[in-house]
Structure 1
Amino acid sequence: MTLRWRLTLSYAALLALTLLTAGFLSYQGIRQTLHANLDTALKAAAITAAHVEARPDIEPTPDAAEVLDMINNQNPIRITIFNADGRVRDRGPSRVGFTPKEGAQTSQHERVFMHPIPGGWVQASQSDAELIASLRRTRWQHALLLPGVLIVSMLIGYSLANRALRPIDQVSAVAARIARSGQPGERVPVVPGTDELAQLTRTINDMLAQLDIQLAHERLFAHASAHELRTPISVIRAAASLALEHDRAPDEYRHALTQIRAVSEDMSDLTDRLLCLARSAHPRHPAPVNLADVALMVTELHATEAGARQVKLTVTAGDAATTGDLNALILAAGNLVQNAVRHAPADSTVQIWSHASDGYAWFTVQDAGPGIPAADITRLLRPFERGTSSPAGAGLGLALVRTVVDAHGGTLDFQTPTAGGLRVTISLPTAVRT
């Protein structure tokens, strides 16, 4: 059974229960009202007759009494006067007999009201056939109205459910087409308004847009990776082919193998960086991390290279607690320090420090090198893009840093101090990421 019919039948069942309850309460109210109105009329007639009986001075003549009895017998409300022992004293005859009980009661399809008087009783009675007929008509009206209302409500309910669920059908159709084609370029028609379905369609479109961007980045990354790996593979094949063309001296073979080993090491380093870049998009072991520890670790890791280049490293490790993948953060921070060391002039200083403020943990690296033109920053954050001042390298360092920072919900900022050089800052939220 479809969701539309489940919703429609649920609405119909709820409406049927509501109508049955309302109909029962309405019927009981009508029944009580009709009985109350009849009892009120009978009581008034009985009290009026009792007042007449209490006035012997207005006792009618026998002829008048006979006429009054005829009128009484034709009146819907029949009045009968009884003695205390139950014998008819005046008017009558009674249609239901004598019952010495004050108040209203039902007897032999008649509604009866008994009113005591001195030395007897006044009985007012009327047939309840009209009352019963009115109640029967009410029951039939309710019985005939309920199915009609349910049928109309089911049609309206199904129409509303169909209209409400149409955007979900569109989402399903788009998702099915994307699953078949593998291309999330299509978008779901946006439902107007601000309700849940409108928010759903907008969220689905935002998700598809992000998938488009992600797939485009992955395709570009795959193409660029293949291009970067093609060159060293071609060099290895060419060196091996030349060495195998004819017999050569041992030194020539040694030279070819040395060249192949060097290119293989570069290719191994490139593949390692590619794996790091792919893994850094999703931190594997988020845990409490202090960027002060990261600053001390990367300083220790790159101290030897800095010494070889005659570059001094200074570190100010202020407390900067955050949450994330320690290894990924060390990898990102290490790339920044390594870039700073490689671009810093000899006898200069690379400053590294960490601190926390304004709800963020900060890690900063500043060097005295040539810096990066502002127009090139966006380009250099993409994989395999190299700076004009350093064409060597795979061009993955800053792309890896940006990927790690994005995965941790942080930001990456580049500044050029007035004194020269480049200052790169990572800011991460101090709140624990769930």
Structure 2
Amino acid sequence: MSLRWRLTLIYAGLLGLLLLVAGSLSYGALRHTLYAGLDDALRVFAEHQAKQDATLKFEPPPQVGDVLDAINRQQPIRMTVYDAVGKVVDWGPSRVGFLPRAGTRQVGAERVFTLRTASGWIQTSQSNQGVQASLRQILHLELLGVPLLLLLALALGYVLADRALRPVDQVSDLGARIARSGHSGERVPQASGTDELARLTRTINDMLSKLDSQMVRERLFAHASAHELRTPISVIRAATTLALEQERTPEQYRDVLQQVESVSEDMSALTHRLMLLATATRPAITQVVNLADITLMVSELHATEAHDKQLHLQTTVRDAETTGDFGALVLAAGNLLQNAIKYSPPRSSIQLSCDADTVSARLTVQDAGPGIPADELPRVTQPFQRGSQTQGLSGAGLGLALVQAVAESHGGQLELFNADAGGLRATLILPRQRRIY
């Protein structure tokens, strides 16, 4: 059974139960009201007769009494006056006989009210056939109306369920198409409003957008990796092929091996950074991390490199707690500092600092290098992309890409811009509290 029909039947069942309860309560209330009205009429009639008996001492002649008895028998309410021992005194015979007990009771089809007076009893009665007819009519209407309402509820419930689940069908169909074609460029039609279905379609579209961009990055990453590895592999193959073409002296073989070793070390360093970049895109291990600790640790780890290049490393720390993977953040901060050391001229200063506000925590590295042209800033965070100012310097263009991957995995971002005084300012911005799913 489909989800639509399950929701429809559940809705119809609940509605049927509510209608049954409401119908029972309304039927009971109506029955009580009708019988209460009948009882009040009998009581008022009896009390009125009791007042007359107390104030009037009129004894009609026998002929008049017979006429009054005949009139009494034709009235809807039959009244009989008894003395203390149960003998009929006035108003003709009762339909149910003498009942020496005050109050209201049901005797067969008669509703009877008995009033105790000083001289005896006054009994009024009326058939409840009118009440029963009204109740039967209400019951028939309910028995006829409830099934019709349930059928209408089934139809409306199915329409509402179909409309509510239509975005789910669209998501399912889209997922099936993407699974068949392998293309994640399609999107679910955006539901209007701010309800759950609108949030669902927005979430699915956001997920597909991120998935699409991730797939694009992975394809570009694979092509760029193959391109970067092709050159050293070609160098190794060419060197070994030339060495094997003819006999060489030991010194020549040693030169070839040294060349292969140098290229292999470059390849090893490149593959290591590729592995770091691949692991940096994974979800971060969430723990409380203080960027002040990371700033101090990174400055100590790379102090020797800065000293060898005669660079002055200025470190300013403030408490900047966030949540994330301590090791990944140390790696990202270290890459920013290594880039600053690489591109800063000797005897210049590098400023390394961290701070925070109520929303985010920031780690900033300001170098004194040539900076990056503004039109090149968006692409230098992609793997194997380098600025035009870095020609002649070693590197594969993976440092900023790695920092960008770490920032995204932590729900943050990497901001790059050229400072007014010169040099590049790189800021790693992380949320103070990241929601964990």
Does TM, normalized by the shorter one, top 0.5? Answer: yes
1:390 partner letter: T
Q: Which residue of 1 aligns with 2:312?
A: 313
- In structure 1, how many angstroms separate the alpha carbons of the residues matched to 2:278 and 2:30? 77
- In structure 1, how many angstroms separate the alpha carbons of the residues matched to 2:268 and 2:207? 35
Distance 1:3 1:132, change over 3 A: same
1:220 partner letter: L
Aligned to 2:390, the other structure's residue is in SS state coil
Displacement of 1:361 after TM fit? 4.0
CA RMSD of aligned residues (A): 2.5
Q: Which residue of 1 aligns with 2:229?
A: 229
Distance 1:289 1:105, change over 3 A: closer
- Provide runs of 4+ in structure 1 moved above 6 Å: none
Q: Which residue of 2 aligns with 1:132?
A: 132
Given that 1:295 and 1:352 are in contact with CA atoms closer than 8 Å, whether structure 2 keeps it comes out as no
Displacement of 1:381 after TM fit? 1.7
What is the TM-score when the length of structure 1 is the normalising length?
0.90
- In structure 2, how many angstroms separate the alpha carbons of the residues matched to 1:263 and 1:390? 21
Distance 1:76 1:324, change over 3 A: closer
Q: Which residue of 1 aligns with 2:172?
A: 172
Distance 1:102 1:372, change over 3 A: same
Of 231-240 and 114-123, more deviation after overlay is shown by 114-123
Pairing 1:371–2:376 present: no
2:350 partner letter: Q
Given that 2:320 and 2:362 are in contact with CA atoms closer than 8 Å, whether structure 1 keeps it comes out as no
Q: Which residue of 1 aligns with 2:403?
A: 401
Aligned to 2:116, the other structure's residue is in SS state strand
- In structure 2, how many angstroms separate the alpha carbons of the residues matched to 1:127 and 1:295? 98
Q: Which residue of 2 aligns with 1:146?
A: 146
- Structure 2 stretches of 5 or more lacking a match? none
- In structure 2, how many angstroms separate the alpha carbons of the residues matched to 1:380 and 1:421? 15
- In structure 1, how many angstroms separate the alpha carbons of the residues matched to 2:320 and 2:56? 109
- In structure 1, how many angstroms separate the alpha carbons of the residues matched to 2:325 and 2:51? 102
Displacement of 1:221 after TM fit? 0.8
- In structure 1, how many angstroms separate the alpha carbons of the residues matched to 2:148 and 2:367? 83
Q: Which residue of 2 aligns with 1:421?
A: 423
Distance 1:433 1:121, change over 3 A: closer
The alignment-based identity, stated in percent, is 55
Q: Which residue of 2 aligns with 1:72?
A: 72
Displacement of 1:225 after TM fit? 0.7
Distance 1:355 1:303, change over 3 A: closer
Aligned to 2:223, the other structure's residue is in SS state helix
Output aligned runs, 1:246-265, within 5 Å: 246-265=246-265
Q: Which residue of 2 aligns with 1:277?
A: 277
Given that 1:16 and 1:146 are in contact with CA atoms closer than 8 Å, whether structure 2 keeps it comes out as yes
- In structure 1, how many angstroms separate the alpha carbons of the residues matched to 2:62 and 2:186? 103
Pairing 1:28–2:28 present: yes
- In structure 1, how many angstroms separate the alpha carbons of the residues matched to 2:44 and 2:432? 86
- In structure 1, how many angstroms separate the alpha carbons of the residues matched to 2:128 and 2:102? 19
Aligned to 2:82, the other structure's residue is in SS state strand
Aligned to 1:389, the other structure's residue is in SS state helix
1:217-257 deviation digits (Å, cap 9, x = unpaired) = 11111111111111111111121112122222222222222
Of 323-332 and 257-266, more deviation after overlay is shown by 323-332
Aligned to 1:85, the other structure's residue is in SS state coil
Q: Which residue of 1 aligns with 2:350?
A: 351
- In structure 2, how many angstroms separate the alpha carbons of the residues matched to 1:350 and 1:156? 73
Distance 1:42 1:260, change over 3 A: same
Q: Which residue of 2 aligns with 1:42?
A: 42
Distance 1:51 1:290, change over 3 A: closer
Given that 2:284 and 2:409 are in contact with CA atoms closer than 8 Å, whether structure 1 keeps it comes out as no
1:52-108 deviation digits (Å, cap 9, x = unpaired) = 545666433322222222222222222222222112233322221111222322223
- In structure 1, how many angstroms separate the alpha carbons of the residues matched to 2:224 and 2:427? 27
Distance 1:294 1:129, change over 3 A: closer
Of 214-223 and 242-251, more deviation after overlay is shown by 242-251
Displacement of 1:24 after TM fit? 1.8
Question: Between Structure 1 and Structure 2, how many residues are aligned?
Answer: 432
- In structure 1, how many angstroms separate the alpha carbons of the residues matched to 2:435 and 2:173? 35
- In structure 2, how many angstroms separate the alpha carbons of the residues matched to 1:371 and 1:247? 50
Of 54-63 and 139-148, more deviation after overlay is shown by 54-63
Of 264-273 and 401-410, more deviation after overlay is shown by 401-410
Given that 1:284 and 1:325 are in contact with CA atoms closer than 8 Å, whether structure 2 keeps it comes out as yes
Distance 1:48 1:344, change over 3 A: closer
Q: Which residue of 1 aligns with 2:210?
A: 210
Displacement of 1:34 after TM fit? 1.9
Of 395-404 and 56-65, more deviation after overlay is shown by 56-65
Of 38-47 and 187-196, more deviation after overlay is shown by 38-47
What is the TM-score when the length of structure 2 is the normalising length?
0.90
Distance 1:269 1:102, change over 3 A: same
Given that 2:174 and 2:187 are in contact with CA atoms closer than 8 Å, whether structure 1 keeps it comes out as yes
Given that 2:295 and 2:354 are in contact with CA atoms closer than 8 Å, whether structure 1 keeps it comes out as no
- In structure 1, how many angstroms separate the alpha carbons of the residues matched to 2:53 and 2:434? 96
Q: Which residue of 2 aligns with 1:101?
A: 101
Of 46-55 and 77-86, more deviation after overlay is shown by 46-55
Aligned to 1:33, the other structure's residue is in SS state helix
Of 289-298 and 366-375, more deviation after overlay is shown by 289-298
Q: Which residue of 1 aligns with 2:11?
A: 11
1:287-327 deviation digits (Å, cap 9, x = unpaired) = 34343443343344334444444x22323242443333333
1:270 partner letter: L
Displacement of 1:41 after TM fit? 2.5
Q: Which residue of 2 aligns with 1:81?
A: 81
